[in-house]
Amino acid sequence: MKKMLLATTLLALSGGIAAAQTVRLGTEGAYPPFNFIDDAGNVAGYEREFGDEACKRAGLTCEWVTNDWDSIIPNLQSGNYDVIIAGMSITDERAKVVDFSENYFPPADSAYVGLTAEADIKGVVSAQVGTIQAGYVAESGATLLEFPTPDETVAAVRNGEAAAVFADKDFLAPYVKESNGELTFVGEPVSLGGGVGLAFRQSDDELREKFNAAIQAMKADGTVNKLIEKHFGPETKKF
């Protein structure tokens, strides 16, 4: 019996080799409306729909896996998954360690959110660790308070730990809208980064080209704009 179990396990582990290569998409699953775990326990959001469509057009079988944000690049490099699709902005700094696809979300605004419109954005400002927003806050002269998940950065403002949170405007907008006036945008939005792109290992050019072709096609026929409007509302920037 034991041997049988072992044999089945080995077979299952090695069985897939002959079949078509599955592409594993790594996401954070905590960044609505880009990506989040819905109440059925599946990855959902804009990137879920976008990614599934892109995989279909590229003729690939894709599988979704979640990974903490702060280790999302190291785990791509060690091969736990093949693509990062996690609302990751294209920056020069990241481009040194991973290769980006074309952006599938236009360069968007980042914004401050606080309890009042006069919140001190040069005081303590929370941001998610390892994001372009965290880098911006650190350079702005404010005291940066970092958290591992996006949700905690907003919670820090609610419980008074931080005067304001700095994050993607599209991520913050639903929180502000649904807070019944508790939260409000502070100051002017700031444009950061070169849009959101898929990240690949630098040795994976072939896979990147497949996705680039799919993204271009989806931009050309308006699919991307339609999906953005569906998940982010009509006011969001589009291509």
Question: Least separation, in Å, of the C-beta of 131 and other proteins?
Answer: 17
Q: Which residues contact 41 (CB under 8 A, 6 or more apart)?
A: none
Q: Residue 198 belongs to what H/E stretch? A: strand 196-200
At residue 86's C-alpha, the angle toward residues 198 and 62, to 5°, is 65
Place of tokens 């599934």: 52
Question: Least separation, in Å, of the C-beta of 139 and other proteins?
Answer: 25
| Measured distance CA(218)–CA(105) in Å, rounded | 12
Q: Which of 149, 184, 216, 225 binds other proteins (CB under 8 A)?
A: 149
Q: How far apart are the first and last CA of the chain?
A: 59
Six-digit token string for 109 = 């605004």
In this complex, which beta carbon is closest to other proteins, that of residue 4 or of residue 12? 12
221 binds other proteins (CB under 8 A): no
Question: Least separation, in Å, of the C-beta of 98 and other proteins?
Answer: 9
Residue pair 89/170 in contact by the 8 Å Cβ criterion: no
233 binds other proteins (CB under 8 A): no
Question: Least separation, in Å, of the C-beta of 16 and other proteins?
Answer: 4
Restricting to residues 55-74, name those near other proteins by CB under 8 A: 61, 63, 65, 67-68, 74
88 binds other proteins (CB under 8 A): no
What are phi and psi for residue 49, nearest 5 degrees?
-70, -40
5 binds other proteins (CB under 8 A): no
Sheet of 30-31: strand order equals 30-31, 35-37, 43-44
| Measured distance CA(188)–CA(46) in Å, rounded | 25
Q: What DSSP string describes 50-119?
A: HHHHHHHHHT-EEEEEE--GGGHHHHHHTTS-SEE-SSPBP-HHHHTTSEEEEEEE---EEEEEESSTT-
Q: Which of 1, 4, 19, 206 binds other proteins (CB under 8 A)?
A: 19
In this complex, which beta carbon is closest to other proteins, that of residue 97 or of residue 220? 97
191 binds other proteins (CB under 8 A): no
Q: Which of 8, 21, 116, 143 binds other proteins (CB under 8 A)?
A: 21
Q: Which stretch binds other proteins (CB under 8 A): 8-16, 138-146, 184-192, 214-222?
A: 8-16
Q: Which of 45, 51, 114, 193 binds other proteins (CB under 8 A)?
A: 45
97 binds other proteins (CB under 8 A): yes
Binding region for other proteins (CB under 8 A): 12-17, 19-22, 24, 29-30, 32-33, 36-41, 44-45, 61, 63, 65, 67-68, 74, 77-80, 82, 97, 149, 151-152, 154-155, 158, 174-175, 178, 201-203, 231
